[in-house]
Amino acid sequence: MSQQNDTTVNTTPMKASQTAGKQKFLQLGTIQHIDVTRNPGIVPVVDAMAHMAFSARDLNRAADIYDRMLKDTDCGVILTLAGSLISAGLKKVIVDMVRNNMVDAIVSTGANIVDQDFFEALGFKHYVAEDRLKSGLYDGELREHALDRIYDTLIDEEELRVCDETTQKVFEAMEPGQYSSRDFIRALGEHLDKTGGPKCADSIVYECYKRDVPIFCPAFSDCSAGFGLVAHLVNRGDQPRASWDGGKDFYELTQLKIKNPETGIFMIGGGVPKNFTQDIVVCAEVLGHDAPMHKYAIQVTVADVRDGALSSSTLKEASSWGKVDTVYEQMVFSEATLAFPLIVGYAYHKGAWKNRKAKKWNTLLEPAAVA
Amino acid sequence: MSQQNDTTVNTTPMKASQTAGKQKFLQLGTIQHIDVTRNPGIVPVVDAMAHMAFSARDLNRAADIYDRMLKDTDCGVILTLAGSLISAGLKKVIVDMVRNNMVDAIVSTGANIVDQDFFEALGFKHYVAEDRLKSGLYDGELREHALDRIYDTLIDEEELRVCDETTQKVFEAMEPGQYSSRDFIRALGEHLDKTGGPKCADSIVYECYKRDVPIFCPAFSDCSAGFGLVAHLVNRGDQPRASWDGGKDFYELTQLKIKNPETGIFMIGGGVPKNFTQDIVVCAEVLGHDAPMHKYAIQVTVADVRDGALSSSTLKEASSWGKVDTVYEQMVFSEATLAFPLIVGYAYHKGAWKNRKAKKWNTLLEPAAVA
Amino acid sequence: MSQQNDTTVNTTPMKASQTAGKQKFLQLGTIQHIDVTRNPGIVPVVDAMAHMAFSARDLNRAADIYDRMLKDTDCGVILTLAGSLISAGLKKVIVDMVRNNMVDAIVSTGANIVDQDFFEALGFKHYVAEDRLKSGLYDGELREHALDRIYDTLIDEEELRVCDETTQKVFEAMEPGQYSSRDFIRALGEHLDKTGGPKCADSIVYECYKRDVPIFCPAFSDCSAGFGLVAHLVNRGDQPRASWDGGKDFYELTQLKIKNPETGIFMIGGGVPKNFTQDIVVCAEVLGHDAPMHKYAIQVTVADVRDGALSSSTLKEASSWGKVDTVYEQMVFSEATLAFPLIVGYAYHKGAWKNRKAKKWNTLLEPAAVA
Amino acid sequence: MSQQNDTTVNTTPMKASQTAGKQKFLQLGTIQHIDVTRNPGIVPVVDAMAHMAFSARDLNRAADIYDRMLKDTDCGVILTLAGSLISAGLKKVIVDMVRNNMVDAIVSTGANIVDQDFFEALGFKHYVAEDRLKSGLYDGELREHALDRIYDTLIDEEELRVCDETTQKVFEAMEPGQYSSRDFIRALGEHLDKTGGPKCADSIVYECYKRDVPIFCPAFSDCSAGFGLVAHLVNRGDQPRASWDGGKDFYELTQLKIKNPETGIFMIGGGVPKNFTQDIVVCAEVLGHDAPMHKYAIQVTVADVRDGALSSSTLKEASSWGKVDTVYEQMVFSEATLAFPLIVGYAYHKGAWKNRKAKKWNTLLEPAAVA
């Protein structure tokens, strides 16, 4: 191949000349993140749900199980994230979990962590889309204005290209070697730290960096960072580079399970983060460790159980695989923007986290266990 | 760490002593794969759907678009797979697509390719579960018998451990270096070839190996192969090893887009395979190539559009991101076991593939473009 | 009130002057009904599904149960219909069931029977809507052209008003008295018969009239006939009139259960038709008859089980109410246009109906049991 | 027929001897109804949702539209109810709407009003079911203990038979004649009033009776009252009786639309209540009145839009039929137990109802407009 050694992310999308015209789509303002710490009124609402039926009762039980996880101070809490959650206004819920020792590790799609959280940390915003845009009939026009749509939310593609490019720059500055996604994401957090902190009030990547909470993206090339990885790869050509070793992700998360056997998982959506996190129990066993199943497990999802997909597979089914215990498991059938703030707000105001210490799981993985 | 250099996958799950008792759960026989090539009667049924409403009309249009993709012989067809499709009896549908030049690349969850297809190629089977097992109330008992459940299907965990172990053995035998998931999966295909071919009638991994059809699993550590990767990693300790470079996956699939710009995508479910494949258009652009959007796009899914997740995001929405053209796009709201055989069976018996040559995309990526 | 005794349905909707302009929306032609009797190729496809998983296996089992219902010649088969099925192209499937003694009674939403089947019998058609209309953004324009939309299908509101008016005329001609919906629908069938038969190839209302198959619409005022009922009521003022006695519906359907205790139900969608038909077992018991539960029960639905609504309530749940036996019950998670033709086509070509006689259940209810 | 004139509902279900054994299923206590009037903390949570995405933003907009309906004091508010809402703990939400002039008419499935609300007013309760019962595997056992299951809730069938019987007694005491469901339900309310009021804290039937809020069940025979109607019919034989004239339901609700043209609809679920209420706009037009479309419309539902059924048909689609205006319409994709308390709680604490007077719509229909 003949790439020059100055390949960078192409930050000039096709129709950048139309930047001015795009403002007409951005009049409804930006997504603002809900702050559950200011809403103690969530507690009596969730308490009342205990005596109702259907999703309300399920939500109450899930909130109660999360509260139990936090009271069980030996238990490590792993949060898994799938779906567009940060762009939907749920960033501060997660940051508050990190700040208050309510979560010990995060396993996520790349989009939530890089395209959305790191993106906002760079000073960019998500925009509220007009209702008519949800029809799909204006997507060609949005394309012309370099605006990307996520259902009812807009992203400025030019800003997203800056995010892509920034990941490349961070990766270029790393020592050549094989890294887990956790390593790369810590490097993004370090980048924020060295450049004056996030350019917005809250950042998951930054907060986790400061508090030694590991973040894994087991499909790390499937996001903005993937563009950075590829641009870096092309730029280096035959020279050594920083590469993503996806096997290390699985190894590291399994090590955490081995070192802290009692675990609970809090899943938003399903997908790779759910499966990957459930699988570490088996992986520990495969490596000869008698790790117990995840003791607690809750999931918020709208996936239908009848298509047989993993995203909707019940937590009982996971117990047949030896992954999840069934005493404290609960699925909540709800779109995440409704259920997630109620569950976390409930546990926050119940306060069990006050007796819980930061587990700083990143420190369990240092120095890098495997070269 | 103190790993010995003979670490292997632990193939003795907890309750292997109860192997005999497990037979009572396996009385209903094995999953058998539907053969659409023997069902020309699909064509008039799908034709009739053109004049109906709802999912029937959508399915007809999707089948028609797939037929157009195949008639457009310059168009490269990428099949994306999410959900438990092989265990559900859809393996032969995919193998027949490969055999008859109806697909040029596959992007899949790891489970479909390794845990299910490669697993069957090793001579193992999926079992039909009794209806009562779907309740979840017997999952503890299944666990005791080392039987894993996927909704209404059972897998023998001991056999799955052999699959895990085999992936490790194959990876151990590879030259140390950084590989894409495509490289690893070709190695699995080569292993089958060298050991007498698949121990079952049909295998996606084997057929793709023989026909130079690349298979990518962009979350490759999230499957049976992940156990092999980790066991290999632990086994080698500080020594060089074969590692999965996830960035290479994205690079290679993008190279295919660059070398064969006209593409159509046929998506079963959503998840990482859908997003990853849509993203190569942007990645090509990021690398400075003016790749066109995917010209054709069809998706079979039951995901609800209103949760904002990628799995259900409309193909129109993807066009705002510059990924998918909107002239020939169609989503079909159906569980895959119903819609997928009808769509493929329709296109098979329409016969457009007869004028289509094997693109052998693996050859476009050899010798390995990047060290 | 001061109604004159010549009140009729107002057949001049607001924008009738724009009739010409509406043609531009009707270019894609009319809905055409799938004919499963010409598709013996359905049988091997459904047979293959027996060995698959998820919805395919469920569909195979439902088709098998329907075949068993037909072989069990003592069993009365009740078909329940919810959702816009006739407008979706499923009319001929149902008519063929009636013609071939594959169904003994129909319980339906009013829309399917009156607004859609009787409407077509009057010579009107349903139209295929362009894809863009599904966005909802053109509904104001459709309103201006007096076109009604059902998702991806259009109806000419002026023609629908003629249907409303015709029901009124038929009701005006009936002897004053209290009638079940079955009585009214037979009157509509008789009207078709006296006016030269249906003005289209197939009509459920007409075919059932000719073959003494009762049709019930337990929410009969909730359809085109409701407009007729109200116009007739207003027209008659204080004079005697034909009125709908909803209690008689329940009484009559229960009488059929009492006179033919062995029954099976084939449900498309849920809603009032499902609940009403399940309830006749309890009603028979309430009246002191020891009627058995429905022996066979199959349902095709996309309703999610987790919202606790009746439409999605499992057939097992119905057994706790003493309504449905659980030996032969199967739900199929599919939109009806995909699954219904496959199930009926399968049973049609298996041919069990050939040994089955017309039960002519209307004759069991004549002369009217209760004044 | 030879019915004696003392036919009554058969209140002795098959297995009443096992009454004692049923207690083991009823240990988890009774359903308790959420009280939103005590939860002002709902307001800031719903306010925060305005700036989020997906269902949260939709819920905020729906709550805002409901608040606008209440501020628009000319607007009549019609609440439609489908799904098992009272058994799910939502009774008090609805009673508080009635008490505080937040609703002017209710259109419901019969189950919510008779089998569940009137049932509780007779002093009976709904019970919390154990999680394992949701599997369906215990429904046979529940049947033996005369316990009916609604997903995760239990009802004592013997108590339900008392409810059936009570409706019969009330109907027996009515003057022979033709009644709307509204008339019958008022008679149930009057019965409660004459017998000392409801035997529980809150009752929709009772509260509406006292406050002249009409309740319609357009499929009135499809519930506990249906058993009463049939038993009464059988009991009277050829003698005059109280019968349900379903056409009057449609006539009366349409009269309310004609007398109070400005209306908003608040729909929980879809089904007959949704369709019936939307249709009154057309019915008014059919009768020659130029009634405007429903000015406001909100719906909470989990029904999928892609099956083309009415329950999920968008409110935009309803505008093509001339039923619903599109300026203030919003669907919320959520199970009702989560969204309904938040929407009503928000509007309650915003307080617009304080400037609103009781419309007492029952008085608009008295004396009965049509004999």
pLDDT one-digit tens code per residue, D14-52: 454 566 788 999 999 999 999 999 999 999 999 999 999
Which residues in B lie closer than 8 A to residue C344 (C-beta atoms)?
A: none
**What share of chain C has pLDDT > 90, as a percent?**
85
Tell me how close the Cα of C153 comes to any Cα of chain D, in angstroms: 9
- C271 reaches D (C-beta below 8 A): yes
The pLDDT value recorded for residue D312 is 78
d(CA A330, CA A299): 7
The pLDDT value recorded for residue D306 is 77
Substitution target in C327, C330, C337 with the highest count of B β-carbons within 10 Å is C337
The residue among B302, B221, B366, B292 whose CA lies nearest residue B55 is B302
**H or E element that contains D244:** strand D242-244
Answer for the pair A309, B335: CB distance below 8 angstroms, yes or no.
no
The residue among C208, C221, C225, C287 whose CA lies nearest residue C250 is C287
- D136 reaches B (C-beta below 8 A): yes
- A304 reaches B (C-beta below 8 A): yes
Chain centroid to CA D88: how far?
13
pLDDT band for A315, please (50, 70, 90 cuts): confident
Chain B 219-238, residues with CB within 8 Å of chain A CB atoms? 219-222, 226-227, 229-234, 237-238
Q: Which residue has the tokens 């010549």?
A: C6
ipTM value of the model?
A: 0.95
- Residue D2 clears pLDDT 90, i.e. is over it: no
Residue A261 or residue A311, greater confidence: A261
Strands A153-156 and A127-128: antiparallel
- Contacting residues for B309 by C-beta, under 8 A, at least 6 apart: A82, A83, A84, A269, B270, B303
- Contacting residues for C102 by C-beta, under 8 A, at least 6 apart: C70, C77, C96, C344, C347, C348, C353, C356
Residue contact D52–A337, C-beta within 8 A? yes
Which residues in C lie closer than 8 A to residue D145 (C-beta atoms)?
A: none
Which residues in B lie closer than 8 A to residue C57 (C-beta atoms)?
A: 128, 152, 337
Tell me how close the Cα of D303 comes to any Cα of chain B, in angstroms: 10
**B20-33, pLDDT tens digit by residue?**
788 999 999 999 99
Q: Which residue has the tokens 């289209």?
A: C200
- B305 reaches D (C-beta below 8 A): yes
Substitution target in B304, B317, B334 with the highest count of D β-carbons within 10 Å is B304
Residue D173 or residue C9, greater confidence: D173
Q: Using CA coordinates, name the residue in chain B closest to D331.
A: B306
Angle between the A224-236 and A157-172 helix axes, to the nearest 10 degrees?
50
- A132 reaches C (C-beta below 8 A): yes
Residue B371 or residue B355, greater confidence: B355
Q: Which residue has the tokens 């009515």?
A: D174
Q: Side chain identity at D112, as an amino acid letter? A: N
The pLDDT value recorded for residue B314 is 84
- D272 reaches C (C-beta below 8 A): yes
d(CA B154, CA B149): 5
The residue among C45, C52, C333, A275 whose CA lies nearest residue B91 is C52
**H or E element that contains B227:** helix B224-236
d(CA A260, CA C139): 58
- C14 reaches D (C-beta below 8 A): yes
Q: Using CA coordinates, name the residue in chain A closest to C304.
A: A304
Tell me how close the Cα of A65 comes to any Cα of chain C, in angstroms: 20
Which residues in A lie closer than 8 A to residue D40 (C-beta atoms)?
A: 41
Tell me how close the Cα of D355 comes to any Cα of chain C, in angstroms: 32
Question: For residue D328, what is the DSSP state?
Answer: E
Substitution target in D45, D91, D92, D149 with the highest count of A β-carbons within 10 Å is D45
Out of B248, B257, B323, B359, the active site residue is B323
pLDDT band for C312, please (50, 70, 90 cuts): confident
Residue contact B230–A250, C-beta within 8 A? yes
The pLDDT value recorded for residue B7 is 67
Q: Side chain identity at C198, as an amino acid letter? A: P
d(CA B341, CA B338): 7
Angle between the C54-71 and C336-350 helix axes, to the nearest 10 degrees?
40
Q: Using CA coordinates, name the residue in chain B closest to D301.
A: B306
Chain C 22-81, residues with CB within 8 Å of chain D CB atoms? none
Q: Using CA coordinates, name the residue in chain D closest to A90.
A: D52
The pLDDT value recorded for residue D310 is 79
d(CA D44, CA D40): 8
Q: Using CA coordinates, name the residue in chain D closest to C152.
A: D308
The pLDDT value recorded for residue A11 is 60
Residue D59 has its nearest CB partner, among A33, A53, A338, at A338
Query: How many other CB atoms are found less than 10 A from the CB of residue C349?
Result: 16
Out of C274, C323, C350, C359, the active site residue is C323
Residue C39 has its nearest CB partner, among B41, B56, B153, at B41
Q: Side chain identity at C364, as an amino acid letter? A: L
Kindly report the CA angle at D137 between D135 and D141, in degrees rounded to 5?
130
Tell me how close the Cα of B277 comes to any Cα of chain D, in angstroms: 25
Mean pLDDT for chain B?
Answer: 93
Tell me how close the Cα of D53 comes to any Cα of chain B, in angstroms: 8
Which residues in B lie closer than 8 A to residue C54 (C-beta atoms)?
A: 88, 151-152, 335-337
The pLDDT value recorded for residue D307 is 75
pLDDT band for C181, please (50, 70, 90 cuts): very high
* Mean pLDDT, rounded, for C317-334: 91
Out of D125, D248, D274, D323, the active site residue is D323
Residue contact A286–B322, C-beta within 8 A? no
Sign of the CA dihedral with D187 first, then D191, D192, and D196 last: positive
The pLDDT value recorded for residue A46 is 98
Strands C153-156 and C147-150: antiparallel
Substitution target in B137, B305, B307 with the highest count of D β-carbons within 10 Å is B137
Mean pLDDT for chain A?
Answer: 93
The pLDDT value recorded for residue A314 is 84
- Residue C368 clears pLDDT 80, i.e. is over it: no
Q: Using CA coordinates, name the residue in chain B closest to A291.
A: B14
Residue A41 has its nearest CB partner, among D30, D40, D53, at D40
* Mean pLDDT, rounded, for D51-57: 97
d(CA B263, CA B279): 13
Residue contact C229–D244, C-beta within 8 A? no
Substitution target in A320, A325, A338, A365 with the highest count of B β-carbons within 10 Å is A320
**B117-173, pLDDT tens digit by residue?**
999 999 999 999 999 999 999 999 999 999 999 999 999 999 999 999 999 999 999
* Mean pLDDT, rounded, for A44-59: 98
- The answer to whether A359 is a known catalytic residue is no
Residue contact C308–A135, C-beta within 8 A? no
Tell me how close the Cα of A306 comes to any Cα of chain C, in angstroms: 7
Which residues in A lie closer than 8 A to residue B137 (C-beta atoms)?
A: 316
Angle between the A246-259 and A271-286 helix axes, to the nearest 10 degrees?
60
* Mean pLDDT, rounded, for A140-153: 94
Q: Which residue has the tokens 């641009």?
A: A231
* Mean pLDDT, rounded, for C185-214: 98
Residue contact D233–C227, C-beta within 8 A? no
pTM of structure: 0.96
d(CA D355, CA B352): 69
**A228-287, pLDDT tens digit by residue?**
999 999 999 999 999 999 999 999 999 999 999 999 999 999 999 999 999 999 999 999
Q: Using CA coordinates, name the residue in chain A closest to B309.
A: A83
The pLDDT value recorded for residue B19 is 66
Task: Name the CA dihedral angle for D12, D16, D20, D21, rounded to a multiple of 10 degrees.
Answer: -140
> Token pair for residue B366?
């050899």
Which residues in D lie closer than 8 A to residue C371 (C-beta atoms)?
A: 238
Tell me how close the Cα of C244 comes to any Cα of chain D, in angstroms: 5
Answer for the pair C8, C231: CB distance below 8 angstroms, yes or no.
yes
Residue A139 has its nearest CB partner, among B148, B238, B316, at B316
- Residue D3 clears pLDDT 50, i.e. is over it: no
Kindly list the distances between the CA atom of residue A272 and the CA atoms of A189, A222, B83, B217, C82, in Å, as whole numbers in the listed order: 23, 11, 11, 12, 37
> Token pair for residue B224?
């049976």
Task: Name the CA dihedral angle for B60, B64, B65, B67, rounded to a multiple of 10 degrees.
Answer: 140
d(CA A240, CA D11): 83
Residues pairing with C154 in the sheet? C127, C149
The pLDDT value recorded for residue A1 is 34
**A76-125, pLDDT tens digit by residue?**
999 999 999 999 999 999 999 999 999 999 999 999 999 999 999 999 99
- Residue D12 clears pLDDT 70, i.e. is over it: no
B to D CB pairs, distance under 8 Å:
28
The pLDDT value recorded for residue B316 is 86
Residues pairing with A215 in the sheet? A106
